[in-house]
Amino acid sequence: MDRVIGIIGIISGFMCALADTPLAYFYDENNQKIGQRRDIQTGWQTASSKRFYLSFLLSFLGQPGCYLVMWRLAEMIGKENDTMCSILKICTFLGCYTGLITHAVFCIKPLVYKHIYQEASLKTSETALHETDRLTILPVLVCSFTLIIIPAFLISAAIWQGILPVSRLWIIFNPIFLMIAMLAVKKAFPKLPLIGFMGTGFIVYSALLLTIS
């Protein structure tokens, strides 16, 4: 069964990784970040709404399989450390909805800006987006910890301690290291499209599960 979950996780992780690409890359040389917080892209004005619908659909379909992998890894860790198992399961539970909320926010904001800007102004659009951020900041922060930081630390610790019987080299492939690596690549090659680091991290977790099984 672990092999089946691992394969589902790889497919799901790839879908989640692809889901980030439509949000991050606009093939327009004039695309700029504007607004007081520089969190609005001018490319949102001309981008097709379908790219944001597609992004959410990929994330919606991909996330459940990724959480299955995290839950199964937690159960494996639980054979030797109940505390780490419980924490990872709690993170998975919280991530099930905060992860989808977070991605939904990233998809909704460009759509809100796109349509409000057509009828109003940049200031009005920016105000609407900032109110959206105020409403959703808590689940976004929870998602950052429950899906990225805490699981990366726990799974790395389990590998280091030998609880998960794989080489310690697997530690360098957690989402935090992948994020750092991808940011470096993006800075060096800003026009190079990259898939999302979190989805890539789930692919690694799935490969880890397959290796153990």
Q: Is the pLDDT of residue 91 over 90?
A: yes
- Which tops the pLDDT comparison, 74 or 45? 74
Question: In which domain, by residue range, is 80 found?
Answer: 2-212
| 117-148 residue pLDDT tens | 767 677 777 787 888 888 889 999 999 999 88
Q: Can you tell me the distance from the alpha carbon of 69 to that of 151, in angstroms, rounded to the nearest whole number?
A: 12
pLDDT given at position 156: 93
Torsion of CA 170, 176, 181, 182, to 10 degrees: 120
Neighbours of 104 (CB within 10 A): 16
Which span out of 10-14, 27-31, 109-113 was modeled with the highest average pLDDT?
Answer: 10-14
Residue 15 structure tokens: 């879908």
* Helix (H), strand (E), coil (C) string for the chain: CHHHHHHHHHHHHHHHHHHHHHHHCCCCCCCCEECCCCCEEHHHCCCCHHHHHHHHHHHHHHHHHHHHHHHHHHHHHHCCCHHHHHHHHHHHHHHHHHHHHHHHHHHHHHHHHHHHHHHCCHHHHHHHHHHHHHHHHHHHHHHHHHHHHHHHHHHHHHHHCCCCCCCHHHHHHCHHHHHHHHHHHHHHCCCCCCCCHHHHHHHHHHHHHHHHC
Residue 134 structure tokens: 């105020």
Q: Is the pLDDT of residue 28 over 60?
A: no
Neighbours of 91 (CB within 10 A): 25
Q: Is the pLDDT of residue 201 over 70?
A: yes
| Structure confidence at residue 25 as a pLDDT band (50, 70, 90) | low
Strand partners, 33: 41
**Do 69 and 6 touch, CB atoms closer than 8 A?**
yes
Q: Can you tell me the distance from the alpha carbon of 87 to that of 138, in angstroms, rounded to the nearest whole number?
A: 19
pTM (2 d.p.): 0.85
Rg (CA), the chain: 18
The distance from CA 151 to its chain's CA centroid, rounded to whole angstroms, is 13
Q: What is the count of structural domains for the chain? A: 1
- Which tops the pLDDT comparison, 184 or 35? 184
* 4 φ, ψ (degrees, to nearest 5): -65, -45
